[in-house]
Structure 1
């Protein structure tokens, strides 16, 4: 009798202990998958009464298929006395008012000839969320590293924008990554780069930075104006994103989103917009990493701008060193280089260059009479006229003062040099108009031919210069070949 009484007390105490446990404890028939016992914690967690639970099967309660549950039970049987612990699962209660992660431990027993599974399920929501956050942090760290590496090796802002979006998807675990900037002269934002899911949605989405427009009240517009990150943990229930709910609901599985401003020198220049299929994907640590990422984007933009300024200054310095500041024509330095290149290519192309020195007759008188400003405008107009009668690949240069030089890139017959010289003379026939004042300008042209009048650029320049003075001695407004005019015949023979 004492033994029976002790057994009854033990059973009562055991039942009380099981009911007081904070863990869910269930006993399930391994064959029928019906529950044989549930403790009070199971009722509290699920929202079902004990009678309701005992009338249910494991698939009814968990939403899993019988095959999945039987596989868990099989694993428990194979594990023996130590049992089997399954991966945490997201469980929702009866009224959908509570959801959390629960980890189940399964032990297989035979009781009174019946195969049963004892399930002890413990809530691990905090642990799972911490693990998920740590995983996301590692992913964003990886994305930050990949983006920084891209910024070092890429050579344009657009390349960097796309690399950052790609890194957010490939390394950061995001569903969608978009970089947005305002359109010039508009309050609308445009996509500068994008990676991941939802291109069709973004292609038809209007986003503004204007708070007076519905399209400007969302995460991106707010982040841009406030210069602070904007986060939503439930996109489809957030009133800030209400304007886009209908568009997103049927076309994406968006759960959470964040917009982080890109700030340069105290002002917003764009936003980095990220989306995830997970809720609570953007905690403080993740946002802190994303702020670092956008800061690095701003730094890269500044570096590109400095490099662009440096390159433009370098190009400008090179241009000024090789071109006439008044007419924009090549100067003596560049002409010498181009002439040397033309001579060097003769053996390869068979085309021989000709050089023509062009001097404006009586230009000093125009300067003295009308002033240097008028003289400069005459030079500008004459440069335009001479350039118009030349072929695109011929070169017109200005040496200084009223001296121009024409490099005719290929003279297969000497008659062509003559035609070019006559075209240049014809270009100056009409008076130059400056402030309504007609000014008569004529040309004296000296011609030298390669290789008859020189085999290098210095010799050709000297020969053409001397020929130009011969043209002046002939009465100006004409051209002359280097040396005696009779040399046309011998030059012709050389070129054939």
Structure 2
């Protein structure tokens, strides 16, 4: 059973108990998940702590036993050394055969050492027995090759562990060799009983309850197991599935192995767990209670927000309907303010506009009027009364949302009055008319920070609807004024023959005042189908006495088309069939309709365009589509009066540069062309009959060929300056009136604003690119920094994988750089790093890469290496690269300094596949080269030559 199973059971039950919607499940589930993760981490850490503590105790006990074994072996070898010294002759040499006196001395020594059951004197070959305390049944002992020297005592040897038939037990063979400066001396050997070797009785009582196992690391044999088996040698036993700690016997090829029972770990862990588990369950309960509180509060806030949004949406819908139907400006503004109070529960709603003295006057207001009594609000920026939200919005044309009167210092003149009436926040939004700020709409609320993003969007939509309603009312008023004051043509007709007409009728048709009298009306229509339309009107006039036929196309004497609305009234003289017809010129209406259509198309064009050429070309193409213009172009006029065309569309514009052949300068033509006058005067210039005005001009033939009768040129301003001129050309005269001129201005203004926005976007993109480059380059050396390297290196490895090539990653550390800083100062060190960075970059190949990690560490990357010859290719490059530090660096005006370089190199894919792992391998190789600086042959070291280790990343 897992130590955390009980805790996860509680968590599982808690999740099963939750039966709420998805949002509630998220609210409860997140705290439970957090507690589960934290508790799991705590319990895991505590369990590991118990494991480490028990393992440490076992390791300590094992080491005590290992040290006891070491002392026994050391004592045994010391006694053998003493025996060897006692057996030497007067010439300090042991020569066979042993004399009786030496044998007697040896036997006396052995009697004083009862632990030596057997004692052999061996020859120089380490195998032939020269003398032994046991019966001489064999003349040769175990071969010397089976013995291994003790590292700390080269004249001491340990033999294999085996079963001795003479002694009837498992023994460890031990030998010492005679120390002699000449040829090899003799050996003294004696077996060591394993039972004494492994005796645990000398250990403290607390240590004897351990299940120690002594392993011979030379063969992997368990000495403890061999002792129990008494001669039956088996392979090493496999470790049981539990924790084991090891303690080496210092100086000897033995290790003490002690198992740690998992039940003991679990018992220790569970003794300390209940207190923690109680705290974790308590924390879970507290978090669930806190989550319940947060969910309830959030639900309450969401319901309040939903009600507020519903009210605002109702307000916006009502305001939109009111703006689309209102016919009176004052009534529209007052109704908007009343609806703001009625639907959204604002405390105050007002619409104000500054007078000539720049003091705001209320056009409409509703709500707590006491706040507005004798209030002073200015549009001037130099007055305190002009620093409020209304004044700022008037000047900037941007909405402003004040979250709190208490926190906004600019509202100090009105703060006390607002707080006294319970006003805590307000907003002001611009109302536009004809593209300019015309008034300011402001509302006040009793709560702070009430205007969230959704409410801001709704209020902006309301102001857009108000602006559209005002524009609609203004358009209606303008049309009414034009109709009331416009002149119309009048025809008195009998039997479809003109009996009388006013002068304006013939003027409209381009005829002499009496040219129509006595003529059939059929001659004024552009097509037979238009004449038939009026014939149907005669049938209606016979029944209803009045008729109106709109959009009738007439033909002027100069060939141009005139569009009029006919209104007919039958006179009371039924016998003579006489009727009166009024002709209302509506050509401008058609022009306006088509211009509005072009304006919408132009807006779409500038929004979709991504550069100025595309923007200008689309605008020109849209302006000649379904309009009265058959040519539109954008250009500049040089100081010599030559035309430079930037974009064009329509008839005759393909060869428009030919006009330069008849232009020598601004003053060469009298009068000058419309485009040159607009460029010079920096304003809109037009001619409703450019062909007649240029009758004596060298450009006359060009204008006549392209049929440019009416021409208008308007400047396009970019960043406040005239950037180009847009020219509109029409084959008809008298095209440009007040409405069409205003629409043309709006087209150029729209295009100018779009170009300004394009410039701003380009500047922003440029600044972003600069900031991105600055963030990826080292300030001191100008080299790529660590961030740039982390982005570049994975891409380089991906390229190498695709191309089946190798990449070398090298980590450079300077030798002696600290001495430069200590001797000459950090400024000198910085100067050296700058020079070194330039030198490294200059000596690298075009495909190579160098970056500074920080301090005196650099990284170089070599791409495009052949996998089979990668090492050789890298060495060639590194030989060239070392020239960067072979000459001293000037660090002051009259002093130089010298540094060296140490480099570690890791190869992809030979040393690893991961960028981070390759850098780690290169770092290890560099430090290896640093450690062997005095003996190394090269200033670099390859990671592949490092000692084998478990890789951190998969290798190929």
**Taking structure 2 as the reference length, what is the TM-score of the superposition?**
0.38
The 3 A distance-change label for structure 1 pair 396 and 215 is farther
| Native 8 Å contact 2:525 2:554 kept in 1 | no
Post-superposition Cα deviations, 1:266-299, rounded to whole Å, max 9, x if no partner, equal 4322221111111111111111111112222221
1:371 counterpart = 2:828: yes
Q: CA deviation at 1:140?
A: 1.0
1:449 counterpart = 2:910: no
**SS, match of residue 648 in structure 2:** strand
| Native 8 Å contact 1:327 1:383 kept in 2 | no
Match runs of 1:77-476 below 5 Å? 88-92=553-557, 124=583, 127-128=584-585, 131-181=586-636, 190-206=644-660, 211=666, 217-239=672-694, 242=697, 244-250=699-705, 252-343=706-797, 350-362=804-816, 371-372=828-829, 374-387=831-844, 389-391=845-847, 394-429=848-883, 443-472=901-930, 473=933, 474=935
**Distance in structure 1 (CA, Å) of the matches to 2:640 and 2:829:** 46
| Native 8 Å contact 1:104 1:120 kept in 2 | no
| RMSD of aligned alpha carbons | 5.1
**SS, match of residue 468 in structure 1:** helix
The 3 A distance-change label for structure 1 pair 103 and 386 is same
Query: In terms of mean alpha carbon deviation, does 292-301 or 40-49 score higher?
Result: 40-49
Count of residues paired in the alignment: 432
Q: Which has the higher contact order (CA 8 A, sep 6+)?
A: 1
Q: CA deviation at 1:168?
A: 0.8
Q: CA deviation at 1:347?
A: 6.3
The 3 A distance-change label for structure 1 pair 363 and 137 is same
1:484 — aligned with what? 945
Q: CA deviation at 1:415?
A: 2.7
**SS, match of residue 610 in structure 2:** coil
Query: In terms of mean alpha carbon deviation, does 428-437 or 313-322 score higher?
Result: 428-437
Query: In terms of mean alpha carbon deviation, does 458-467 or 267-276 score higher?
Result: 458-467
Post-superposition Cα deviations, 1:8-55, rounded to whole Å, max 9, x if no partner, equal xxxxxxxxxxxxxx7476989xxxxxxxx99687999776999xx99x
**SS, match of residue 597 in structure 2:** helix
The 3 A distance-change label for structure 1 pair 324 and 230 is same
Q: CA deviation at 1:301?
A: 1.7
Q: CA deviation at 1:122?
A: 6.6
The 3 A distance-change label for structure 1 pair 442 and 227 is same
**Distance in structure 2 (CA, Å) of the matches to 1:188 and 1:432:** 61
**Distance in structure 2 (CA, Å) of the matches to 1:135 and 1:433:** 84
The 3 A distance-change label for structure 1 pair 420 and 352 is closer
The 3 A distance-change label for structure 1 pair 301 and 172 is same
**SS, match of residue 200 in structure 1:** coil
| Native 8 Å contact 1:446 1:466 kept in 2 | yes
Unaligned runs of 5+ in 1: 1-21, 29-36, 106-117, 488-493
Match runs of 1:24-39 below 5 Å? none
Unaligned runs of 5+ in 2: 1-489, 569-576, 949-954
| Native 8 Å contact 1:24 1:42 kept in 2 | no
**SS, match of residue 714 in structure 2:** strand
| Native 8 Å contact 1:91 1:102 kept in 2 | no
**Distance in structure 1 (CA, Å) of the matches to 2:945 and 2:491:** 116
Q: CA deviation at 1:260?
A: 0.9
| Native 8 Å contact 1:235 1:241 kept in 2 | no
**Distance in structure 2 (CA, Å) of the matches to 1:452 and 1:236:** 82
Q: CA deviation at 1:410?
A: 4.9
Post-superposition Cα deviations, 1:103-142, rounded to whole Å, max 9, x if no partner, equal 899xxxxxxxxxxxx9999783xx23xx110011111111
Q: CA deviation at 1:336?
A: 2.1
The 3 A distance-change label for structure 1 pair 439 and 344 is same
**Distance in structure 2 (CA, Å) of the matches to 1:328 and 1:253:** 62
Q: CA deviation at 1:247?
A: 2.4
Q: CA deviation at 1:254?
A: 1.2
Query: In terms of mean alpha carbon deviation, does 367-376 or 208-217 score higher?
Result: 208-217
Larger-Rg structure: 2
| Native 8 Å contact 2:594 2:626 kept in 1 | yes
**Distance in structure 2 (CA, Å) of the matches to 1:461 and 1:344:** 16
**SS, match of residue 204 in structure 1:** helix
**SS, match of residue 883 in structure 2:** coil
**SS, match of residue 736 in structure 2:** coil
| Native 8 Å contact 1:354 1:410 kept in 2 | no
**Distance in structure 2 (CA, Å) of the matches to 1:396 and 1:208:** 59
**SS, match of residue 911 in structure 2:** coil
**Distance in structure 1 (CA, Å) of the matches to 2:704 and 2:736:** 20
Post-superposition Cα deviations, 1:429-453, rounded to whole Å, max 9, x if no partner, equal 3767989999877643321123543
Query: In terms of mean alpha carbon deviation, does 158-167 or 254-263 score higher?
Result: 158-167
Query: In terms of mean alpha carbon deviation, does 361-370 or 372-381 score higher?
Result: 361-370
The 3 A distance-change label for structure 1 pair 275 and 432 is farther
Match runs of 1:43-62 below 5 Å? none
Q: CA deviation at 1:223?
A: 1.9
The 3 A distance-change label for structure 1 pair 191 and 322 is same
The 3 A distance-change label for structure 1 pair 379 and 225 is farther
The 3 A distance-change label for structure 1 pair 187 and 433 is farther
The 3 A distance-change label for structure 1 pair 334 and 72 is closer
Q: CA deviation at 1:143?
A: 1.3
Q: CA deviation at 1:146?
A: 1.7
